[in-house]
A and B are shown apart, each in its own frame.
Chain A
Amino acid sequence: MINYIYLTVLLPLIGFLINGLFGPKIKNEKVIGIIGSSTIGLAFLVTVFALFETINLPVESRSNTVELFTWLSVAGLNIKFAYLVDQLSLTMSLIVTGVGFLIHVYAIGYMHGDKGFWRFFAYLNLFIFAMMNLVLGDNFLVLFLGWEGVGLCSYLLIGFWYDRKFEKGTTSEAAKKAFVVNRIGDFGFLLGMFLIYLTFDSLNFHEVFTKAVSFPVSESTFGLIAIFLFIGATGKSAQIPLFVWLPDAMAGPTPVSALIHAATMVTAGVYMVSRAAIIFTSAPTVMMIVAVIGLLTALVAATIGLVQNDIKKVLAYSTVSQLGYMFLAAGVGAFGASIFHVMTHAFFKALLFLGAGSVIHGMHEEQNIQNYGGLKKYMPKTYITFVIAAFAIAGFPGLSGFFSKDEILWFSYANGGIIFWIIGVLTAMLTAFYMFRLVSLTFFGKERFDHHHVHPHESPLVMTIPLMILAGLSLIGGYIGIPEIFSGSHGNVFHNWLEPIYAPALAKLKIYGSHTHFEEILLMVISVALALSAIYFAYKIYTSKPHIAENISKRFKGSYNILFNKYFIDEVYEAAVVQPIQKGSEKLLWKFADTTIIDGAVNGIAKLVDRSSNIIKKLQTGVVQFYAIIMMIGIAITLLWIILSL
């Protein structure tokens, strides 16, 4: 099945073409939904088979390439459409196709009745096509193809309801913002690719990474490549300073938020950094930058999510925050941990978003949590699965999120230092707190909605079954990555699975000191205790004593305002970047430089010719005698000249 891995790319493409070209003619929603979902389901099966095949191979030969055809070949540059099947790409593929499949099924229910049903599924399949290219590509260019492709699908899907308003603008503006901010990151990615080609004469992963180990390349070159690649990652994975598009991306339908802006597209940056691990570990300064930015993003996003009132916004900032954790892990060299967190995050964040969608659906498109309350008795399945996911993200012991987050915190302490750990734990507390603020305000406490107009109801099976599957995964999915202290001789299965990929990179990493199991358990206990207390406080305050929260927000009005308005970052960007470029282009470049100066010069030359002709033409008086006089003068001068020169 490994040799047929391209099917995982081809099947979604076929689904896109069928639904895209014939969608309007297929009147039956079920057929469209089945076509859309089954392509992904089949792709998932192919991936699973490929996984088992790879597991049965000895560790040294677990990296296989399937070549399709030559894409771009100029002189030394030889890029093929080829797919790399190794531990990392298989892991990512499983996440993409598995969670993707569940979300497709969910969407059949969520998008029921929408006029653009066929368009939605066509775009979703196109997205999976692009994402599979991204995770399976065996060179930077195919990765980039997928990278931009998911950006395109994000644009199409965020602006899916193209005639709707969204906050102060429209959905299309949110979509454009996403694409353009992504593009800024892509600009960095491109430069990184050029530098890679210049240094290593290839863009193929295998060739580049092998050469990266042995070539005498300076640290500054590695650093430059790494920082460019990381700029690309901050764009796609919504880190500081390019995260501003993600909250706006909530304009799209909730399945889109779940799939693209939680589980898959946003993790592309993490994948890319992981894939190019050796380049990063060869540039310790950049690793530090990655870790610091990841950490800061995690903290800042968590603080913003603390005070948001739109259910999807809370989850959006939560995603940004969790992505920060993933980069923190990568930055301290724990690449395996970051991918582990990608996986568990895909489970519980997708579940959270789908659950939110279920709530929104049941509450007739209401998204403000201040109008929720006590919904647990109306939507039991949604409630249970949502709470499971909330516990998972908060790091409740035993659940998937606990294992992955804990591993990140441990490595940030072991490889980074106590400061990283402290801020990381603080953010984990905030995560637990805002998550259970959300849960409490939604499902517990007093019902704050008008019973006469709103009748909350549970969602149909086609929506709740994916929720339950994801809940199951959120519960047990972490056990594959149990740390050594618990699993003893088995070691960390997930870690060992991915280890061959990172071995060369980790060899370059300088890790100082060693730490004991005791430290690990101690830190784990502290962080769990803090998280549990945060959960408890959030539950208590928002369920029974909401006035405490209100009083605090009134006392610290200034801080509250700043957090609520997301540190005014959009306004800052607008004033510092967007408006100057816009106004500058209009007034300075177009009106002044182009019209006044350049065109002025062109027209000016014409005017000059015009004016001088106007002067000279006055010689043509039409009076013959005048001409005769001129002739006379001319003859006289000529004669004079001849006589004088004789």
Chain B
Amino acid sequence: MEQNLLLTYLLFTPIIGSVLVLFIKQEQKNLIRWFGVLIASVAFVISLIVYFNFDASKSEFQFIHQIVWIQSLNVSYYIGVDGISLLLVLLTTFLTPLTLLSTWSSIENNLKMFTFSILFLEAGMLGVFLSLDIFLFYVFWEAMLIPMYFIIGIWGGERRIYASIKFFIFTMAGSLLMLVAIIWLAVYASQLTGKFTTNLLELYKIAPTITQQIQGWMFGAFFLSFAIKVPLFPLHTWLPDAHVEAPTAGSVILAGVLLKMGTYGLVRYCLPLFPQSAVQFAPLISVLAVIGIIYGALVSMVQTDMKKLVAYSSVSHLGFVVLGTFAMTIESVQGAVIQMVNHGLSTGALFLLVGVIYERTHRRDIAYYGGIAKIVPVYSTALLIASLSSIGLPGLNGFIGEFLILLGSFKSQVLDNWWYTVFAASGVIFAAVYLLWMYQRIVFGVVKNPDLKNHLTDFNKRELIVLIPIFVFIVWIGIYPSTFLNLTEATSQSILNHVSSFTFDFLK
């Protein structure tokens, strides 16, 4: 088949870049920083080239590159994009240079190692989104654990060791089960076709034919791994610790992209490989998702640490995405995909803003602040826009995703029950409560703390450069989401068609 090297260039740019960084002398800090941003920007440019040459009307994978890797196991280096993965690739390459720019002045020691970790992490994330071979996918999935572990563990906050180990082991526990399922799947495929295969496209045809019993276990193994990553209630407790203890850049990447790997996995692997099990378990999973939405919002409300508040809000938002995925209507799946991007942007922006203020005062507790509107008006406006985007105000990006998901789940025949939507929709009330309350405690009121006047300064140019592109997209997706929805529509539709072709008992 036609091979296209563009994606390989995209994938290997951060890998080679990360290795090259190691050769720069430790003292040349600015060089390291610029180089990191440069490599990440090159990756972004390549992904834009892919975007402009992408045909959104086709649902098949494009820009394929396949090389046989392990002959005996029939494992190949097989990458390609379709609408959904392209969107997430763009999100990754968009956020990474911004993340590197944002930590210009906050990371001083071991800068080389840090930049290496971030670039390596980017490679891992891109690999997950691009790979079309299950084995390759697993390699990249595990590969992104290690740099994250270092980022949290070395440059993190007080309880960083606890947080990073928790993150690592929690995620790994799930992934190991997934490995078992992968091997089982490959073996099963070899029994069926006589050939051991880990090629995703072939498995799409084979896997749904597995008997219900066994398929259920496989689905469970895959699902568990992704559910931990999303994170889905009740497997979410690693997230608050990881987010709070990670440095700002780590939090932004973690919230912005890493969590999407879980939701992407659900859409790319769980649904098409095991459609019958997906439909069978959808009600249960949706219950967990709805609980996550409400629970995440309520617990957010009572947090005193800004970062923990935003972390729990992630649990709430991604509950919507999982609900949308398993409601399995075109509206809800499109909503889920766009909400993945939205969450990356809004929560990424919120973490960046928290990081800006933390860099100045080194305090994250909300009680320390109050009345900063007078001192830093531009910051207050930015925080308001980011909060409103997270709340889901119409006109900004969050609304598009939430509305589509709720509308889709209301119509869903897989769920076939309005109560999911009713409870999930109550999440919009709670989102307003916890975010506006945080906003008001930080921004409004009188300046009770005199320290604030000394330490707080408004944005400098670099921070503006980081935030403005994100806000542009927040508004763009809110007003004219067609640009992005058109990209993913063909793919979402084909996944749903695939699922419904194996599960005749429900219509779209």
Cβ-defined partner of B480 (8 Å) among A69, A74, A155, A179: A69
Cβ-defined partner of A187 (8 Å) among B426, B437, B445, B489: B426
A152-B393, A163-B371, A190-B425 known; A594 vs B436 contact (CB < 8 Å): no
| Stretch in contact with the other chain, from A104-112, A168-176, A483-491 | A168-176
A75-B330, A162-B445, A163-B371 known; A194 vs B407 contact (CB < 8 Å): yes
Task: Check if B410 is an interface residue, CB within 8 A of chain A.
Answer: yes
Contact B429 A180 (CB under 8 A): yes
A184 CA / B429 CA spacing, docked (Å) = 6
Task: Check if A631 is an interface residue, CB within 8 A of chain B.
Answer: no
Instruction: Determine how close the nearest CB of chain B comes to the CB of A394; give it in whole angstroms.
Output: 38
Task: Check if B281 is an interface residue, CB within 8 A of chain A.
Answer: no
Q: Point out which of B374, B394, B395, B437 has the most chain A C-beta atoms below 10 A from its C-beta.
A: B394
Encoded as 1 (CB less than 8 Å from any A CB) or 0, chain B from 387 to 411 comes to 0100001110001100110110011
- Contact-residue bracket for chain B: 35 or more
Task: Check if A288 is an interface residue, CB within 8 A of chain B.
Answer: no
A74-B404, A179-B432, A197-B411 known; A162 vs B237 contact (CB < 8 Å): no
Q: Point out which of A73, A179, A197, A585 has the most chain B C-beta atoms below 10 A from its C-beta.
A: A585
Instruction: Determine how close the nearest CB of chain A comes to the CB of B303; give it in whole angstroms.
Output: 8
Contact A162 B444 (CB under 8 A): yes
Task: Check if A522 is an interface residue, CB within 8 A of chain B.
Answer: no
A421 CA / B403 CA spacing, docked (Å) = 42
Instruction: Determine how close the nearest CB of chain A comes to the CB of B433; give it in whole angstroms.
Output: 5
- Residues of A212-237 at the interface with B, using a CB-CB cut-off of 8 Å, are none
Contact A163 B445 (CB under 8 A): yes
The dominant DSSP class at the A interface is helix
Task: Check if A98 is an interface residue, CB within 8 A of chain B.
Answer: no
Contact B330 A74 (CB under 8 A): yes
Task: Check if A191 is an interface residue, CB within 8 A of chain B.
Answer: yes
Chain B residue at smallest Cβ distance from A165: B446
| Stretch in contact with the other chain, from B96-104, B125-133, B293-301, B498-506 | B293-301
Instruction: Report chain B residues within 8 Å CB of A187.
Output: 425-426, 428-429
Cβ-defined partner of A180 (8 Å) among B394, B432, B444: B432
Instruction: Determine how close the nearest CB of chain B comes to the CB of A395; give it in whole angstroms.
Output: 38
The count of residues in chain A whose C-beta lies closer than 8 Å to any C-beta of chain B is: 51
Instruction: Report chain A residues within 8 Å CB of B479.
Output: 71
Instruction: Report chain A residues within 8 Å CB of B295.
Output: 589, 593
Instruction: Report chain A residues within 8 Å CB of B106.
Output: none
Encoded as 1 (CB less than 8 Å from any A CB) or 0, chain B from 435 to 467 comes to 011001001111100000000000000000000
A163-B444, A179-B432 known; A74 vs B298 contact (CB < 8 Å): no
Contact A148 B406 (CB under 8 A): no
Instruction: Report chain A residues within 8 Å CB of B444.
Output: 159, 162-163, 170-172
Q: Point out which of A69, A75, A599 has the most chain B C-beta atoms below 10 A from its C-beta.
A: A75
Contact B407 A148 (CB under 8 A): no
Instruction: Report chain A residues within 8 Å CB of B263.
Output: none
Instruction: Report chain B residues within 8 Å CB of A74.
Output: 330-331, 334-335, 404, 485, 489
Cβ-defined partner of A197 (8 Å) among B399, B407, B480: B407
Cβ-defined partner of B445 (8 Å) among A73, A170, A184, A582: A170
Task: Check if A72 is an interface residue, CB within 8 A of chain B.
Answer: yes
- Residues of A140-157 at the interface with B, using a CB-CB cut-off of 8 Å, are 141, 144-145, 147-149, 152, 155
A180-B432, A190-B406, A581-B298 known; A602 vs B237 contact (CB < 8 Å): yes
A149 CA / B374 CA spacing, docked (Å) = 24
Instruction: Determine how close the nearest CB of chain A comes to the CB of B171; give it in whole angstroms.
Output: 12
Instruction: Report chain B residues within 8 Å CB of A585.
Output: 298-299, 301-302
Task: Check if B58 is an interface residue, CB within 8 A of chain A.
Answer: no
Instruction: Report chain B residues within 8 Å CB of A171.
Output: 444
Encoded as 1 (CB less than 8 Å from any B CB) or 0, chain A from 190 to 202 comes to 1101110110000
Contact A194 B331 (CB under 8 A): no
Chain B residue at smallest Cβ distance from A586: B302
A590 CA / B304 CA spacing, docked (Å) = 12
- Residues of A398-424 at the interface with B, using a CB-CB cut-off of 8 Å, are none
Contact B331 A77 (CB under 8 A): yes
Instruction: Report chain B residues within 8 Å CB of A138.
Output: none
Task: Check if B139 is an interface residue, CB within 8 A of chain A.
Answer: no
Instruction: Report chain A residues within 8 Å CB of B299.
Output: 585, 589-590, 594
Instruction: Report chain B residues within 8 Å CB of A581.
Output: 298, 301
A170 CA / B370 CA spacing, docked (Å) = 12
Contact A194 B436 (CB under 8 A): no
Instruction: Report chain A residues within 8 Å CB of B234.
Output: 598
Chain B residue at smallest Cβ distance from A115: B374
A74 CA / B331 CA spacing, docked (Å) = 6
Cβ-defined partner of B406 (8 Å) among A173, A179, A194: A194
Contact A162 B443 (CB under 8 A): yes
A162-B443, A162-B444, A190-B425 known; A582 vs B302 contact (CB < 8 Å): yes
- Residues of B50-94 at the interface with A, using a CB-CB cut-off of 8 Å, are none
Contact A198 B298 (CB under 8 A): no
Task: Check if B481 is an interface residue, CB within 8 A of chain A.
Answer: yes
Task: Check if B373 is an interface residue, CB within 8 A of chain A.
Answer: yes
Contact B407 A180 (CB under 8 A): no
A72 CA / B428 CA spacing, docked (Å) = 20
Task: Check if B4 is an interface residue, CB within 8 A of chain A.
Answer: no
Task: Check if B166 is an interface residue, CB within 8 A of chain A.
Answer: yes
Contact B440 A163 (CB under 8 A): no
Contact B166 A602 (CB under 8 A): yes
Chain A residue at smallest Cβ distance from B240: A594
Cβ-defined partner of A145 (8 Å) among B169, B394, B407, B437: B394
Task: Check if B358 is an interface residue, CB within 8 A of chain A.
Answer: no
Contact A70 B330 (CB under 8 A): no
A186 CA / B335 CA spacing, docked (Å) = 19
A77 CA / B425 CA spacing, docked (Å) = 19
A184 CA / B169 CA spacing, docked (Å) = 40
Instruction: Report chain B residues within 8 Å CB of A193.
Output: 407
- Residues of B285-319 at the interface with A, using a CB-CB cut-off of 8 Å, are 295, 298-299, 301-303
Encoded as 1 (CB less than 8 Å from any B CB) or 0, chain A from 590 to 610 comes to 100110001100100010000
A606 CA / B169 CA spacing, docked (Å) = 10
Chain B residue at smallest Cβ distance from A24: B377
Instruction: Determine how close the nearest CB of chain A comes to the CB of B227; give it in whole angstroms.
Output: 14
Cβ-defined partner of B437 (8 Å) among A176, A190, A584: A176
Cβ-defined partner of A172 (8 Å) among B334, B445, B482, B493: B445
Instruction: Report chain A residues within 8 Å CB of B399.
Output: 148
A311 CA / B165 CA spacing, docked (Å) = 61
Encoded as 1 (CB less than 8 Å from any A CB) or 0, chain B from 110 to 133 comes to 000000000000000000000000
Instruction: Report chain A residues within 8 Å CB of B302.
Output: 582, 585-586, 589-590
- Residues of B127-183 at the interface with A, using a CB-CB cut-off of 8 Å, are 166, 169-170
Task: Check if B422 is an interface residue, CB within 8 A of chain A.
Answer: yes
Encoded as 1 (CB less than 8 Å from any A CB) or 0, chain B from 226 to 264 comes to 000000001011100000000000000000000000000
Chain A residue at smallest Cβ distance from B393: A148
A176 CA / B442 CA spacing, docked (Å) = 13
Instruction: Determine how close the nearest CB of chain B comes to the CB of A23; give it in whole angstroms.
Output: 11
A-B contact sample (12 more), CB < 8 A, given A74-B330, A582-B301 = A74-B334, A74-B404, A74-B489, A75-B334, A75-B493, A162-B443, A172-B440, A176-B436, A179-B436, A194-B421, A581-B301, A585-B299
Q: Which 6 A-B pairs have the closest CB atoms?
A: A172-B444, A194-B410, A162-B444, A585-B298, A586-B302, A145-B394
Q: State the B residues within 8 Å of A (CB).
A: 166, 169-170, 234, 236-238, 295, 298-299, 301-303, 330-331, 334-335, 371, 373-374, 388, 393-395, 399-400, 403-404, 406-407, 410-411, 421-422, 425-426, 428-429, 432-433, 436-437, 440, 443-447, 479-482, 485, 489, 493
Q: State the A residues within 8 Å of B (CB).
A: 69-75, 77, 141, 144-145, 147-149, 152, 155, 159, 162-163, 170-173, 175-176, 179-180, 183-184, 186-187, 190-191, 193-195, 197-198, 581-582, 584-586, 589-590, 593-594, 598-599, 602, 606
14 A-B pairs within 8 Å (CB atoms) are namely A74-B334, A145-B394, A162-B443, A162-B445, A170-B445, A176-B440, A180-B429, A187-B428, A193-B407, A194-B406, A195-B410, A589-B299, A602-B170, A602-B237
